[in-house]
Structure 1
Amino acid sequence: MSERSINVLAERKKARLDELAKSTASGDGVSLFRDTMRRLARNPVAITGGVLVALFILVALFAPLIAPHDPAQRFDELLDLIRPGTIPGPQDGFPLGSDPLGRDFASRLIYGARQTLFVGVVATLIGLAFGVLIGAVAGAFGGWVDVVLMRVTDVMLALPGLLLAITLVAVASRSTQWTVIFAVAIVNVPIFARLLRGAMLAQRESDHVLAARALGVRERAIVLRHMLPNSLTAVIAQATLTFAVSILDAAALSFLGLGDQDFNRAEWGMMLGVDGQTYFETRPELAYYPALAIIIVALGFTLLGESIREAIDPKNRR
C-alpha cells in the first residue's frame, strides 16, 4: 500500500473519530434503548413477531367489545341443534358455531386470549421477580451464598419444566387458576436466576465496578446502581421468550386436565383438551382453532424475544 493511500485512510479514520467525539460532546449519542429499537424496526422477523403480539394483546384487552356474546351463556337455539354425534357449525349470529354445551364458540375463543394473557403475564412476572432476587443475591455476595442458591436452581433445572409443573400442580388438593400460575412461575425462576447471576459475576470485575470500589463506594450502592442495572438487559429479553414458554406450559396443564377446574372460564388449553379431544371426530374445529391460536401467540413472542436478544447483544453490533 502506497504512502498516499495510508494517509487517506488515516485522515478518514481521524474524521470519523472527530465526528464521534462531537456527537458525544453534544449529547447526541444513541442510547442502548434507542439503538435496540432502531435495530428492531429494521428487522422483518421482529416486526412480524411484534404484529402478532400486538394483535393478541388487543384482542385480549378488548375482548368484551369484540366478542359477540357472553362466553358462559348457553343459547337455546344452539342447544336445540345439538344431537348425539352432531354439534352445530356456523349459524346466524354465531360465526364459529357452538361448543358441546351450546355456548358461542367464537366468544369463548376471543375470551380465551384474555385468560391466556393473564396467566402468561402473571406467571412470567412472578418467576422474573423471584429469579432476579435469587440471581442478584448470588451474583452480589458470591461465596457459600452463591453455592447454596445455585445448587438449588441446578436441582430445579435438572427436571424438565413441564414435569416439574405437573408435579407442583398434582400436590395441590384442587387445581385452580392460581395453582397453574404459581406452578409455571416456579418453573421459570431458575432460568432467570442463572442468567442474572452470570451477568452479575461478569460485572463484578468490570472496570467501572473496580473504579467504584477504589473510590470507596459502598458495596450495596455498587450492586444496586452499577451491577444490577447493567445486568438486567439480557434478563428482560429472556422474559419475552419465557412468556411464550409460560403460555405453552399453562395450556399443556389445562390440556392434561390439571388446569383450572372452572369450565365456565374460557381457556385455550382447556378448550383444546376437554372439548377438542372429546369431540374431535364430530367437529374437529373445536381443536383446530384453540391449537392454532396457541401456536400463533407462542410464535409471535418467540420471534420478538429472539429479535430483542439479538438486538441488544454487543456481538451483533457493527
Structure 2
Amino acid sequence: MTRALSDVKRRRIDELIAHTSDAGGVSLLRDAGRRLVRNPTAIVGAAIIVLFLIIAIFAPLVAPHDPVQRFPELTQNLTVDTIPGAQAGHPLGSDPLGRDFASRMIYGARQTLFVGVLATLIGLLAGVLLGAVAGAVGGWVDAVVMRLTDVMLALPSLLLAITLVALARESSQWTVIVAVAIVNVPIFARLLRGSMLAQRESDHVLAARALGVKQRHIVSRHMLPNSLTAVIVQATLTFAVAILDAAALSFLGLGDPDINRAEWGLMLGVDGVRYFEVRPELAYYPALAIILVALGFTLLGESIREALDPKNRR
C-alpha cells in the first residue's frame, strides 16, 4: 500500500515537472499582466485613463472651438441670470463669459494632466531621493529624514498644501504644482525606505557584500531597482490624489488666477459655484470629470498592486 502511494506521488511529480518544462517559467510581471487583462476593474480603470489621455493630448484636434473665444450667438442672450445652454455648434452651451463650454472642458483635461503629472513626478523624484538615502545610509540620517516625514504626514495633506500655497507671494499654477508635490514627498520616501530596509538583508545583497562590491553599487544595482516596484504602483494612486488636491486648491481660489486658463478645478470654483443656481451644469461637468479621472487611476493602481502582490499568485 505504501509503495503504491509512493508510485502515485512520483508519477504526479513527474507530470508537474513535465508540464512546467513544456510551459516554461512564468515571471512575476508576466503573471501580473495576465491577471490584469482578466481583471474587469483594471480594464475599466485603463479605459478611463486612455480616454482621458487621448482627450488631453489631442485637445486642439478634439475641441470644436477656441476655449478663450467669445461667440456672438452665445453672448447675445447672456445675462447675469441667464447663461445659454446646449445649442447648435455648442453641445454644452456657454460659460458665464460666452465661451464654448465643451471646448473648455476638453482643454481642461490637458491642463489637469499637466498639473497632475508634474506634481506626481516632482514628488516621486524627491521622495525616491530621500527614501534611498535614508534606507541606504541608515543611522542618524535615516532618523532625521523619517522624523521630517513624520511631521509632514501628521498634517492633513490638503491643509499642508493650503499652507504652502498661502506662504507664496502670489498664487499661480506652479505654486499649486509645487505644493501638491511636497505633500506627496513623505509618502514615497517612507515607502521606498521600507522596501530598501527589507532588501538590505536579502540573499543577493549579502552575497554582493561578501564579494566585496562597493556600497554605492549595491544600492544602485541591487537594492534600489528591486525596491521601486511598490513606489511606481503608489505613483499611480498618488496621481489621482494630486488631481483632487490641485482641483481643491483651485476651487478654494488658491490656484491659477488666470480666468482664461481652462482647468477643471478652477472652472468648478469660479464658474460652477458662483452660477450654480443659474446653470448648475457648470459645476456638474467639471466635478464629474475630476471624479471619473481620479476613479480611473485609483482602479488601475489598486489592480496593479493586487496583481504584483506575491500572496495573490495562484
Q: TM-score, length-normalised on structure 1?
A: 0.96
Number of the residue aligned with 1:60: 56
Match of 1:78 among 74, 79, 82: 74
Give the C-alpha shift of residue 10 in structure 1: 3.3
Give the C-alpha shift of residue 17 in structure 1: 3.5
Determine helix, strand or coil for the equivalent of 2:273.
helix
Number of the residue aligned with 1:236: 232
Determine helix, strand or coil for the equivalent of 1:100.
coil
The answer to which of 76-85 and 105-114 deviates more is 76-85
Match of 1:42 among 28, 34, 38: 38
Separation in 1, partners of 2:42, 2:223: 28
Match of 2:93 among 94, 97, 101: 97
Separation in 1, partners of 2:27, 2:128: 24
Number of the residue aligned with 2:104: 108
Separation in 2, partners of 1:217, 1:20: 35
User: Which consecutive unaligned segments of at least 5 residues does structure 1 have?
Assistant: none
Separation in 2, partners of 1:205, 1:219: 13
CA distance 1:296–1:22, shift in 2 (3 Å): same
Number of the residue aligned with 2:17: 17
Separation in 1, partners of 2:84, 2:274: 15
Separation in 1, partners of 2:110, 2:80: 31
Separation in 2, partners of 1:65, 1:169: 34
Match of 2:116 among 101, 115, 120: 120
Separation in 1, partners of 2:127, 2:272: 35
Determine helix, strand or coil for the equivalent of 1:278.
coil
Separation in 2, partners of 1:250, 1:283: 24
Give the C-alpha shift of residue 77 in structure 1: 1.6
Q: How many residues align?
A: 314
Separation in 2, partners of 1:296, 1:103: 24
Give the C-alpha shift of residue 32 in structure 1: 3.1
Report the RMSD for the aligned CA atoms in angstroms: 1.4
CA distance 1:20–1:213, shift in 2 (3 Å): farther
CA distance 1:163–1:101, shift in 2 (3 Å): same
| Residue 160 of structure 2 corresponds to residue 164 of structure 1 | yes
User: Which consecutive unaligned segments of at least 5 residues does structure 2 have?
Assistant: none
| Residue 280 of structure 2 corresponds to residue 284 of structure 1 | yes
**Which residue identity lines up with residue 89 of structure 2 in the other structure?**
G
Number of the residue aligned with 1:201: 197
**Which residue identity lines up with residue 173 of structure 1 in the other structure?**
R
Determine helix, strand or coil for the equivalent of 2:278.
coil
Query: What's the CA shift string for 1:2-59, capped at 9, x where partnerless?
Result: 6534432332124323554676xxxx53333322211111111100100000000000
Of all paired residues, the percent bearing the same amino acid is 75
Determine helix, strand or coil for the equivalent of 1:120.
helix
Separation in 2, partners of 1:220, 1:22: 40
Match of 1:308 among 304, 310, 313: 304
| Residue 169 of structure 2 corresponds to residue 173 of structure 1 | yes
Determine helix, strand or coil for the equivalent of 1:180.
helix
Q: TM-score, length-normalised on structure 2?
A: 0.97
Separation in 2, partners of 1:30, 1:317: 11
Separation in 1, partners of 2:160, 2:10: 60
